[in-house]
Amino acid sequence: MIIVVLDAATLAGVDLSPLMKFGTVTTYDHTTAEQVHHRIQDANVVISNKVQLNESHFVQAPKLKLICVAATGTNNIDLAAARAAGIAVTNVAGYSTPSVVQHTFTLLGNLMTNIHRYAEDCRNGAWQQSPMFCRLDHSINEIANKRFVIVGYGNLGQAVANVAEAFGAQVIIAERPNSKEVRRGRMAFEEALEVADIVSIHCPLTPQTENVFNADTLALLPKHAILINTARGGIVDEHALAQALKSNQLAAAGVDVLSSEPAQPDNPLIQYRGDNLLLTPHTAWASKESIGRLVAGIAENIDSYLNGGQTNRVV
């Protein structure tokens, strides 16, 4: 088999030998839209994370039988066109959960204890000049007993809830925005925001969740609240969030995702300079162990496809 990896750089140098037992593996660190046709024209299997594949590509790749998405989301693949062309599409779910959970609490812990500010103070010599043994210039707060609101209660949201409970937080599961009913064990979305000390977002980006955190909903949060987004950038209105942080309408935010990636210079969160924002470049998913599980999942999908077994097949 001829296997082509279109954006191998997203796999961060993790060992790809589990794929090599299936045939020849050709890797490209990055692939532009103009390069796709040439690179997949003889491929039997294409592995892609964020490279977009559509009907025009499938027409010019007659040997292509399987697309393995090196991620959970399949929005970069024209699924209808793949189905029409007889091309199977698989994804890998759940591989990044431990990594995203860890990143969520890394952002939250830094913000609640102001570690980033204290570390900067130490670099600038403030500790050396202290009249006492420590510095207490910035507030330090505990997760314990805080009302921890989770928006999106799938596998990731549930895993975050478990850790929050281990810290001693009071977990509140928010109902879907604009839902006409509140399921047992959940709280209406707007009501949950009004009582939140911490909000952690783990829902998918859909027409219903796009910009669900906007000027109006952010205004519902108490001024001491902290917002964490490791889900998708489009869920949060970035202009509104930057303004809420600037005006201290919101205490702090930790953000790993933006509406347009890679980040654009004019993005309001890129331009924001306040120290109540921690911004990371979409790395929550990308622990070494997580990517190793991803590659193993891709290999399992190829093996199952070739042997007619069960895969994480989308189409």
Query: Residue 193 is part of a domain; what is its CATH number?
Result: 3.40.50.720
Is residue 240 a contact partner of residue 215, using CB atoms and an 8 Å limit?
yes
What are 58-92's pLDDT values in tens digits?
Answer: 999 999 999 999 998 888 999 999 999 999 999 99
Is residue 221 assigned to a domain? yes
Q: Is residue 292 part of a domain?
A: yes
For 21, counting Cβ atoms within 10 Å of its Cβ (0-12 exposed, 13-18 middle, 19+ buried), the class is exposed
Tens-digit pLDDT profile for residues 262-299: 999 999 999 999 999 999 999 999 999 999 999 999 99
Q: Which residues are catalytic?
A: 232, 261, 282
Domain shared by 127 and 237, yes or no: yes
Q: What's the CA gap between 133 and 279, in Å, rounded?
A: 31
Q: What is the mean pLDDT of residues 178-203?
A: 96
Percent of the chain whose pLDDT exceeds 90: 93
pTM of the model: 0.91
pLDDT tens string 157-186:
999 999 999 999 999 999 999 899 999 999
Does the pLDDT of residue 312 top 70, yes or no? no
Q: 161: burial class by Cβ within 10 Å (0-12, 13-18, 19+)? A: buried
How many angstroms separate the CA atoms of 158 and 274, rounded?
Answer: 31
Alpha helix ranges (H) inside 196-284: 215-218, 238-246, 268-271
Band (315; pLDDT cuts 50, 70, 90): low
- Examine residue 314 and state whether it is found in any structural domain, yes or no: no
The average confidence (pLDDT) of the chain is: 95
Residue 312 lies in a domain: no
Beta bridge partners of 90: 68, 313
Q: What pLDDT score does 100 carry? A: 98
Q: Report H helices in 145-259.
A: 155-166, 189-195, 215-218, 238-246
- Yes or no: say if 45 and 3 are a contact pair by the CB < 8 Å rule: yes
